[in-house]
């Protein structure tokens, strides 16, 4: 499954920030700074993040031209234009979503994930059945977790969180993605629900929860599991 995002942004500071946020969340990013280049590269992307105010061909024209060729590729306009007329125009010419700058990274990632899910592009690959990270072993098939050889008692939700993390070591998950994957897309919870469960889980698996070895905070994104793992057979 491709998870490539075409980021069309001419401001270098915002462009670098977007690349950092998206790559930490596990996406491949193709960052371009003009509409002309975007029109030559969009077909390789799973989703497009599009600024409106671009040198040369502007974002509205880029959106129209892409929609003339492809009516379904997910496209989010990310722009400083916040007027009602701008939002309505952007949506009417084919944007799936419209976010204004400055933006919240968690909200941006949640919108991206929601669009990819809607287009059937967020199914995760078949995971390993057993993951070992340092002194922690997560047996997915048997729903069993041991730490230094001792069985840990986890709630169903704690196990689901840990299993998801362990199956995708090093991949950053936003809080919105974790709610979606562990609680379900219909759950109407909040980010603090995730934070509370992460804190409880850390209390059980981390020797020093203030300096975690396994579940790391990715500032501006969410959380990720250590990438220092070995895995068992695929299920």
Residue 125 lies in a domain: no
What is the pLDDT at residue 230? 85
Residue 193 lies in a domain: yes
Better-predicted residue by pLDDT, 8 or 180: 8
Distance of CA 87 to the CA centre of its chain: 24
Tell me, yes or no, whether 112 and 168 share the same domain.
Answer: no
pLDDT in tens, 25-53: 888 899 999 999 999 999 989 999 999 99
Domain range for 171 is 130-231
Question: What CATH number has the domain bearing residue 54?
Answer: 3.40.50.2300
Q: Domain count for the chain, please give it.
A: 2
pLDDT in tens, 174-189: 888 888 888 875 555 6
Tell me, yes or no, whether 113 and 174 share the same domain.
Answer: no
Tell me, yes or no, whether 16 and 91 share the same domain.
Answer: yes
CB 119 within 8 A of CB 70: no
CB 133 within 8 A of CB 163: no
Tell me, yes or no, whether 25 and 81 share the same domain.
Answer: yes
Residue 123 lies in a domain: no
Q: What is the mean predicted confidence (pLDDT) over 153-166?
A: 90
Tell me, yes or no, whether 48 and 152 share the same domain.
Answer: no
Most confident of 47-61, 80-94, 122-136, 162-176: 47-61
Tell me, yes or no, whether 216 and 170 share the same domain.
Answer: yes
CB 154 within 8 A of CB 142: no
Range in 95-104, 136-145, 178-187 the model is least confident about: 178-187
Position 192 pLDDT exceeds 50: yes
Last residue of some domain: 55, 84, 118? 118
Q: What is the CA radius of gyration of the chain?
A: 20
Distance of CA 111 to the CA centre of its chain: 9
Round to whole Å and give the CA distance between 134 and 139: 14
pTM of the full structure: 0.58
Two structure tokens written together for 17: 């920030």
What is the pLDDT at residue 104? 87
């Amino acid at each position: 499954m491709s998870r490539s995002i075409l980021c069309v942004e001419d401001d270098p500071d915002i462009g670098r920030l977007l690349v950092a946020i998206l790559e930490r969340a596990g996406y491949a990013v193709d960052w371009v700074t003009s509409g002309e280049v975007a029109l030559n590269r969009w077909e390789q992307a799973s989703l497009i993040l599009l600024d409106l105010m671009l040198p040369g061909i502007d974002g509205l024209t880029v959106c129209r031209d892409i929609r003339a060729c492809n009516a379904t590729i997910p496209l989010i306009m990310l722009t400083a234009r916040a007027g009602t007329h701008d939002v309505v125009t952007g949506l009417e010419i084919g944007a799936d979503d419209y976010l204004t700058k400055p933006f919240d990274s968690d909200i941006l990632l949640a919108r991206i994930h929601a669009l990819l899910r809607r287009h059937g592009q967020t199914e995760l690959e078949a995971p390993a059945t057993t993951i070992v990270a340092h002194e922690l072993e997560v047996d997915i098939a048997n729903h069993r977790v041991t730490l230094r050889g001792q069985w840990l008692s986890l709630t169903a939700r704690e196990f689901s969180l840990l299993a998801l993390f362990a199956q995708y070591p090093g991949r950053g998950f936003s809080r919105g993605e974790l709610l979606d994957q562990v609680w379900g897309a219909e759950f109407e919870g909040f980010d603090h629900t995730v934070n509370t469960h992460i804190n409880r889980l850390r209390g059980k698996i981390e020797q020093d929860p203030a300096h975690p070895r396994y579940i790391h905070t990715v500032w501006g994104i969410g959380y990720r599991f250590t990438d220092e793992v070995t895995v068992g057979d695929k299920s």
